[in-house]
Structure 1
């Protein structure tokens, strides 16, 4: 039996205000009253325009109407049951969206329904009334926004966020069902070269084409996404180690065997692949991503266009534990001012009088032991801490120069420091605070830095010379810097790599090499330092060849003592300090 409230509502909403129905119809909307007890629905005249081709009987009841709704038939009933009834008999507002389709071949109409429901005596929904309107365009926009939030706009594949989320689901699934899968990263080789040679638009075309080629070689159920600029991530389900090897070769072949057509002409492309089996070697998505990236970098280092599969490595894991420990020790030592310097004499090859002292980094440990430069510098460079160490050594060297006006010091800086703006800020501030110090400072840069960044190093050298400082090239002979480049840089001193010096008394090849370097440097009026001088015979040879300075075990190794504070004999005695490993001047 129809409730009086429903009768009053229908007589008020539907028949009594025909002009309201006309207004709604003109706006592409329709009003309804739904008696849930009788399951009858009454519509305004605009219903036909909102639901074209849908027969009236399909709109006459909630049950019949629900049969047309996608994706869930119960979306309207669920909306009424998810909120509590209002106090005082007031209606409870709701808003839902759903699709309506008359048949499987008919287009889907997206509907936005806004209304209120009213409770009966038992507190459950008894009546609902509201307005429906078509919102196909808005739904399309929403879907597009959802797609853009999940997919990479260039390739149309999943973006990194959703790729990693899919990877997490895949790992959980493999753990639950005791299956296996693989996570693979495909990195396009030398994409930066394509950017430089042809432009970013061509590089984007290459990325999109590589994505299409990988997509064409996927199995059903595999997942592809763009991981980063030049990398694609793949989740290969039900994939054994053997399957992973086969799949990697399939992808690599598909990428490299045909050139990529672009607006600027065909481009030859290769890619490298790193992969990890999960969950065997990766328990979660983060671990899988890290290990896949690690193996991809290993593949690129070995050879562009190759494949590497992650496997356990005891030595690598042990080294990482050491890195973590040493990193913590370095940071703590910096904070506690336990990074100090030792001083190794560099003497005139003829008079054997000190010309300057090289500042070498040391780290005092809690147990009283001292770590030498070979123990500190490689780890600090690898883990990005060397700039902090370089800053500290600079402060110590300048402080020493400031209190010792008759001393000249040299210090080594790492490759990254040559372009570190903070280091420049520090040295400029220190030079202003201590006038005249710059003229007694020698800055040593390695030969490999001079080769790789000649233009940047030239600016670095010029700025230092403005302070009156001198520049030395360390480990000269280990790389391939030409003497022409030394002239361009305005280098003052060349330190000949000790690997060629230490055996000159026994090696004719080393003698010829070192003698040639000294002769060429003299012609360019560049001073020379021979490192790792072991014995008197070598020192005499170097002096006769015209080497300006010598340094090494014969003269004395690095010491935390300040020898310029005591009287020094004309010929310095050999130091009893322990050698710093292979590189004695470290």
Structure 2
């Protein structure tokens, strides 16, 4: 059994290696004497032939013979090199020895492999490193669960199996509620501890075969196999309770945590990974909107799908209108409450349709904001308003901007460039900001307002009274004009509550030296009340509706004082 290797056996023994010669024709394998050191628990009989040795190999028993056929033989007598790795185990209870085999095989007269020779050595450490690297590539380092890539791969496999074998399963997205608050209050280390603990609690309540993975920073994805709708509800409540009913211990003390869950049944309501993920995310968002710490399952909704088709159509219409320059402005007059002289005009967005009709701002702006197109619309309106001011030196115009636009550096760069190109425009421009923006982003908005006022423009708070902006914030922002929300103005002739509210706003604004505009003025009785209370300007149906035609043929009266 032992061939003569007089000059190498000592070296091989010191390295924990053994050499062999495999006579493929007879299937006999000869080893150097130190083979017992390499394979201490394997009987000699199991190493004496290629067939016997193959029975110990996993995962692929034919890996040694296959290696000899994977490359064509080299010309000459040097042999064809090969290198393979495999596991060897004497029984299912025994540990796996990972072997690295390096050798050459030689061709026989018939052109087929006739003999192989080489060296084997145990390589458990390298295999362990490879396994660790593989685990790191598949698993989230914080929780040890599958990462997003492999979670989605497992979801795709489950969807395919459920369709093929006709069984029901589910995909859940589990979101940790208010994780950003925990980050801010306690630090990222505490938030990481919360994420890790939530993963452990969910893992502890899974069945065999269920798959858990970290989907994103505060979300876990969960694949529940062989799961009916009733099972989904039971499982969701189990997960909710596991997190809700016991605080999470952290280095900064106990933290109370809740989770929200969105789920979709597969394959009934999701036949692709995109459908499963999108619908689970949709229901998770719905659960959080309804009540944090709750569960929602996706069900078809005719109205929702119809609205989405409308959104798609309107998106295309808005983008096309922008490209074709069919976004235009109409001008609504604002006049002095006492003299009824023209003060300025509010520019309202319109979208001209191909049939000649025009969509009004209430039909465009909410959809554009929802679909992320409002910045493009605002950019176009800004260009139109500045061009109009540049062409009409005696005109003053006001421009509405959306919440997102106030924080858009590109929009600011555009207005800055236009102001410098047209130096006389800024002092005749009023920028209207909705009240909800002012209260939510007061600090950032203050810088935005300051930069505009430095150019000479004025600032108006639109729809004042509809939100929660305080007069202290108005003073902090140094606004010039408050436009009182028309919902309070339109009924002042008939509603004592509205009269008291509007009169109080006007009085407080006057004390702060802020001009007031009453919107939605419908009749002369309301206009007279506003005038007597000291309201500065009015606009609405009584004064005139917005028109695409320029209402000035000569320079209007300059009712507002110059900026600055």
Task: Please report the TM-score for the alignment, with normalisation by the length of structure 1.
Answer: 0.92
Match in the other structure for 2:562 = none
1:349 aligned onto 2:367: no
Q: How does 1:492-511 map to 2 (within 5 A)?
A: 492-511=480-499
Distance 2:325 2:21 in 1: 80
1:148 aligns with 2:156: no
List aligned pairs for 1:168-247, cutoff 5 A.
Answer: 168-247=156-235
Question: Which stretch shows the higher mean deviation, 560-569 or 219-228?
Answer: 560-569
User: Are the aligned partners of 1:22 and 1:46 in contact in 2 as well (CA < 8 Å)?
Assistant: no
Deviates more, 1:106-115 or 1:401-410: 106-115
Partner of 1:539: 527
* Inter-partner Cα distance in structure 1 for 2:266 and 2:456: 59
2:469 counterpart of 1:471: no
The superposition leaves residues 76-106 of structure 1 with CA deviations (integer Å, 9 ceiling, x where unpaired) of 1222233344455663332211112234443
* Separation in structure 1 between the aligned mates of residue 556 and residue 423 of structure 2, nearest angstrom: 27
Do the aligned residues in 2 keep the contact of 1:50 with 1:133 (CA within 8 Å)?
Answer: yes
Match of 1:371 in 2: 359
Q: Distance in 2 between matches of 1:94 and 1:130?
A: 9
Give 2:438's aligned residue: 450
- Number of aligned pairs? 559
Deviations 1:540-568 (A, max 9, x none): 11111100000111111111111122587
- The one of 255, 272, 284 equivalent to 2:272 is 284
Post-superposition shift, 1:68? 1.9
Q: Alpha-carbon deviations, 1:78-137, whole Å to 9, x = none? A: 222333444556633322111122344433211111222223333332211222222111
Please give the secondary structure, in 1, of the residue aligned with 2:102: strand
Alpha-carbon shift at residue 29 of structure 1 (Å): 2.5
Q: Which residue of 2 aligns with 1:272?
A: 260
CA distance in 2, matches of 1:180, 1:546: 69
8 Å Cα contact 1:461/1:471 also seen in 2:
yes
Match for residue 138 of structure 1 among 126, 130, 134 = 126
1:578 maps to none
Match of 1:294 in 2: 282
Contact kept? 1:418, 1:460, Cα under 8 Å:
yes
Question: Which residue does 1:484 correspond to in 2?
Answer: 472
Q: Deviation per CA, 1:23-76: give whole Å up to 9, x if none.
A: 233333222211111111122344333223333333221122222222222221
Where does residue 301 of structure 2 map in the other structure?
Answer: 313
Deviations 1:460-499 (A, max 9, x none): 1111111111100000000111111111110110000001
- Give the TM-score normalised by structure 2: 0.96
CA distance in 2, matches of 1:189, 1:106: 46
Q: Is the 8 A contact 2:343 2:556 kept in 1?
A: no
Separation in 1, partners of 2:373, 2:78 = 67
For residues 437-465 of structure 1, what are the alpha-carbon distances to aligned partners after superposition, in whole Å with 9 as ceiling and x for unaligned?
11111111110111111111111111111
Determine the C-alpha separation between the residues in 1 that align with 2:35 and 2:318. 76
Whether 2:6 is the aligned partner of 1:18: answer: yes
Q: Which shifted more, 524-533 or 106-115? A: 106-115
Is the counterpart of residue 527 in structure 1 residue 515 in structure 2?
A: yes
How far apart are the structure 1 equivalents of 2:10 and 2:555?
A: 110
Question: 2:368: which partner in 1?
Answer: 380
Q: Does structure 2 retain, via aligned residues, the 8 Å contact 1:180–1:277?
A: yes
Alignment of 1:419-430 (within 5 A): 419-430=407-418
Which secondary structure state, in structure 2, belongs to the residue aligned with residue 337 of structure 1? coil
**Alignment partner of 1:22: what SS?**
helix
The answer to whether residue 48 in structure 2 is matched with residue 60 in structure 1 is yes
Tell me the secondary structure at the aligned position of residue 25 of structure 1. helix
Residue 559 (structure 2) pairs with residue 564 (structure 1) = no
Distance in 2 between residues matched to 1:170 and 1:55, nearest whole Å: 43
Q: CA 1:426/1:535 → structure 2, altered by over 3 Å: closer, same or farther?
A: same
SS where residue 164 of structure 1 aligns?
Answer: helix
- Matching residue within 294, 310, 313 for 1:325: 313
Query: Residue 22 of structure 1: CA displacement?
Result: 2.5
| SS of alignment partner, residue 81 of structure 1 | coil
Which range is displaced more, 334-343 or 182-191? Answer: 334-343
Structure-2 separation of matches of 1:300 and 1:325: 28
Asked if 1:166 corresponds to 2:167, the answer is no
Cα distance in 2 between the residues matched to 1:377 and 1:174: 43
Alignment RMSD, CA only? Answer: 1.9
Structure 1 regions of 5+ residues with no counterpart? 1-9, 571-586
Q: Secondary structure at the match of 2:494?
A: coil
Could you tell me whether the CA contact under 8 Å between 2:395 and 2:555 is conserved in 1?
no
8 Å contact kept, 2:400–2:432: yes
Counterparts in 2 of 1:141 and 1:362: CA distance versus 1, 3 Å:
same
Distance 1:336 1:119 in 2: 74
Q: Among 395, 406, 413, which residue is 2:383 paired with?
A: 395
